[in-house]
Structure formats: structure tokens, C-alpha cells
Amino acid sequence: MHLIIDVGNTRAKLAVYENNSLKKRWVVEKKNLLNKSLKILKNDPDISHAIISSVAHLDEKGLNEIDKKAKLLVLNKDVAIPFKNLYATPKTLGVDRIALIAAAAHQYPGKNILVVDAGTCVTFDFLNSNNEYLGGAISPGLTIRYEALHKLTAKLPLLKPEQIEDFIGDSTATSMHSGVVNGLVQEIDGVITQYKNRYKELTVILTGGDTNFLAKSLKSSIFANSNFLLEGLNVILEINKD
């Protein structure tokens, strides 16, 4: 069994996989990551291997404690991956994006895949039908957009995401919601259309913390999977654990 750990910009996700089957899943604050990991390993001695992906700095002492309980793989640019990386600057490619494309390569072989990860940032990552990763785009997510409006202006309030009833806002708050939420939805739909114009056969995966919030508003045909990154990490661990 595997312990999968994904450390994002704001929170950490942990999951236990048996083969390719998700057994349990948790979301914790980053400060509680080590304690939660050790508790999971203590309660489930059948976990033999673990993998961690982090967009932030990792504490070596904590990693060593996890490694004592289960053989730990830290995802980095040198780890074996199930696709050909054609990114012009492979050393700068985020480990979260590597994991997402690993999931795409494993689950949709021979397909053109666009993975949209809607979290703190929104990332677009493209894998072509030849199993080649070409790159994509990085854009501000919902939270960053709301915070920017508040912090970089004199009077606009700090709001939390809300579904909009109409794209024409009739107050400051509804105008901000329309600008942020409708703006991001239109951006995602627009980017998907760009890819579809170039690649007629395209499968689109929407994942990340804002998946459920955004999925109902998108016009494009998508597959929503909030665990896609975790599944990719499990694929990479399976490839590398021997």
C-alpha cells in the first residue's frame, strides 16, 4: 500500500492507495502534515512506500521521520516519469504539473489531453497523442484575483468566491464576483477552445481545489476529477519504487 502526499500552496492532501484504488483521503493544514502522516503510517502498517510532492520547501527532519516508517520518494526532476518531457526548461517545471501529466499519460494513452488545475494558481498542461508533454500556461486562481482587487486598490473589499446569477453586476460586490468568477470561467473556456482549434480530438480534465465550484459554469465538455494529482503521484511511485 502507498501513502501519497501532495503539499500545495495552502494545504496538504494525503491519501492511501492500494494498487490503483483510493482507500482514504485527508486534507490538512501544512503545519499538521508531519503529525498526520506519522499517524496514518502508525495506524496502517501495511503501507510500505510513500511519495511526497511539494511546491514549497520540505523539512528534511520531517522527511526522515516519514522515511523510517515507509520508503519515501521525494518527487523531483530526476524521478522516472511515464511521458516524454519537451518543456524548454525542465528543471523549472513544478512537481505538481509533473504529477498531473503522469496521471494523464497513465489514464489516457494515445490521447491529446489538456489538464486544467484550478487551485491557488490555474495551470494548463498539455500532453499530445505521442505521449509528449509540450507545456501550457500558468494564471492566477480565484483567491489570488480576489486578494489582488482588495490589496491593490483603496476601497474594494476582500470577498470570497460566490456563484454569480448574472454576468452584469448591479453592486460593487456582484461586479467583483462577475469580474473574478465569470472572468476566470471565460478564460478557461477560451483556452480550451484554443487547444480544440489546434487539436480536434481533445480530452479535458479539470482538477484542483476549485473543481466543483467552476465545473458547473464551464461550457466546455470536461471530466472533473479532484484527485487527479494524487492519482499521478501514485503512478510515479509505482514506476520508481523498485
Catalytic residues: 96
Give the Cα separation of 104 and 4 in Å (integer).
17
146 annotated as ligand-binding: no
Question: Which candidate, 69, 171, 212, 187, places its Cα nearest to that of 124?
Answer: 187
Helix (H, G, I), strand (E, B) or coil at 137: strand
Query: Is 44 marked as a binding-site residue?
Result: no
- Ligand-binding annotation for 133, yes or no, is no
CA dihedral 16, 18, 21, 27 (to 10 degrees): 0
Chain centroid to CA 94: how far? 10
The reply to whether 19 sits in an annotated binding site is no
Alpha helices in the chain (DSSP H): 33-43, 60-69, 95-107, 142-151, 172-177, 183-198, 211-215, 228-240
Known binding residue 169? Answer is no
Q: Is 9 labeled as ligand-binding?
A: yes
Secondary structure class of 65 (helix, strand, coil): helix
7 is in an annotated binding site: yes
Please check if 97 is assigned to a binding site: yes
CA distance 99 to 96: 5
Q: Say if residue 166 carries a ligand binding annotation.
A: no
Cite the annotated binding site by residue number: 6-13, 87, 94-97, 117, 120, 172
Cite the annotated binding site for K(+) by residue number: 117
Cite the annotated binding site for ATP by residue number: 6-13, 120
